[in-house]
Structure 1
Amino acid sequence: MADPIKIAIVGLGKIAHDQHLPSIRANCAFNLVATVSSRNESINKLPHFETLGELLAADVAIDAVALCTPPQVRYTLAAQAIAAGKHVFLEKPPGATLAEVALLDRNAEAAGVTLFASWHSRYAGGVAQARHWLSERNVKRASIVWREDVRVWHPGQDWIWEPGGLGVFDPGINALSIATHILPPFFLTSARLSLPANRAAPIAADLQFETGDGTPVHMDLDWRQTGPQSWDIIVETDGGTLTLAKGGAVLTTPEGTQAGEDREYAGLYAHFAELVRDGVRDVDTAPLQLVADAFLRGHRETVDEFHD
């Protein structure tokens, strides 16, 4: 059996505590050996550093880093790690721009290290079966409804409203990561982005896409929903309708409904371990490309100010 991959987490925010730390602990392929955060916070008395540079200069042996920081600062960190010969796990979105992710991929290839652009929603319980079911049918139309309450899921996260933070596309890109995985390739034809008067990123968006043969795909994003949250993808086919609900966890087809186990981040880390062992990279930027196209082509409208 191979030795565990010695990994460090960079960024100790909510997603690191809720998902990354438990997933690393539960996977024997990894051994968490250090943490990096500007907060004075240590995990289980492990070595802790305020910057990645300090960790890389220290006498702590690491093989890989998981970058859980906001995307606006991720390029510099990933470039540092790659230059030091470390494998890199990128939390979604993989970067603030497509060009920087492409450059990181080239640098990782030249350095002979793994770079993984992770999309956790692709590992939701119903997604793999949905992909298989749709592969045997012709898609007639698809609808994506991703509506949630930003105050519940992203309280006080000002970075998410800044350029590069994506606004409502931060959760919306999860839906796109599923859609680009299970549907035929599609592209943006129009978009309407709703930006609060006091923010630089949208709080809602309405998008129209088409596949290469003209099949319509509609997307409705909104961060202002209260009460029950909506994370649904509905696909009409020549063999009936498929629905992925609860962010991809619950799959319904004409054959019935089934709910899969919540193993999104467990699946990511299992795949990352395989990539490292095989010496390969996995850098799919299709979801980020569609978001970039929305900002490039979308019509912007100003809506009421948003305050946490």
Structure 2
Amino acid sequence: MYLYKSFTHLKTTHSYHLVDPSPWPIVAAFSAFMLTTGGVLYMQRFVGGWSLFLTGFVGLLYVMYTWWRDVIREATFEDTHTQVVQKGLRLGMILFIVSEVMFFFAFFWAFFHSSIAPVYNVGGVWPPKAITTINTYTVPLTNTFFLLTSGATVTWAHHAILARAKRHTIIALIFTLVLAALFTGLQGVEYFNAPFNISDGVYGSCFYMATGFHGFHVFVGTIALFISFVRVILNHFTNKHHFGFESAIWYWHFVDVVWLFLFVNVYWWSNK
């Protein structure tokens, strides 16, 4: 007992955060393994594949909640996110966004490889002759307006928290979340009414893979901004200590930029 008490008062001479032992990495690894394995087994129609997939999916959701709960507790109540730790977190977020850029780079590579020099299989033209494309100036243009406006409102929220204007931060985040929901809803309407699907050759594959994964990133960014919204209400952030909110804003601007490339190339240039 005496040894335990002595360690609870142990002081360090550095600014780094030595995290406590955590079960979440290994639980996340097993959950991801069950998710991917179950998905493959389900697609190959093996018995139990769907159950394994659902178990892995629920496990990942649970780990996401508990692991990020721990990180929030460390940043707020334990006050372990020093300036040095925040620099490391910023670098990690930058590298993560770079990896996401490379992820979408693969889809754009496939799109331009197929569109700039279309092969005879698709009629030697782009878009392929059998494809009826989506009108650029309907849902895509409306969604562009919604997403760019959300980028402005989330910047407003960031400047408001820097100015210690909590009310303005909350109002700006509400606008951002509403615009994000409108974008996602219209994307679903577009998919529902699209005259082609993912199995319609290389055009359908490139279109749905690029826009679909972008839509998934919008969904993830919306969740991140909603969590930041709740944390603003709970006074988890200050004007100098709000990296969780700042990282969500960075991610949202990344989503905006990717959509601009998608709109210009996949919707507008590809349909000319």
TM-score by length of 1: 0.21
**Relative contact order: is structure 1 or structure 2 higher (C-alpha 8 Å, sep ≥ 6)?**
1
Larger Rg: 2
TM-score by length of 2: 0.22
Write 1 or 2 for the structure with the bigger share of strand. Answer: 1
Write 1 or 2 for the structure with the bigger share of helix. Answer: 2
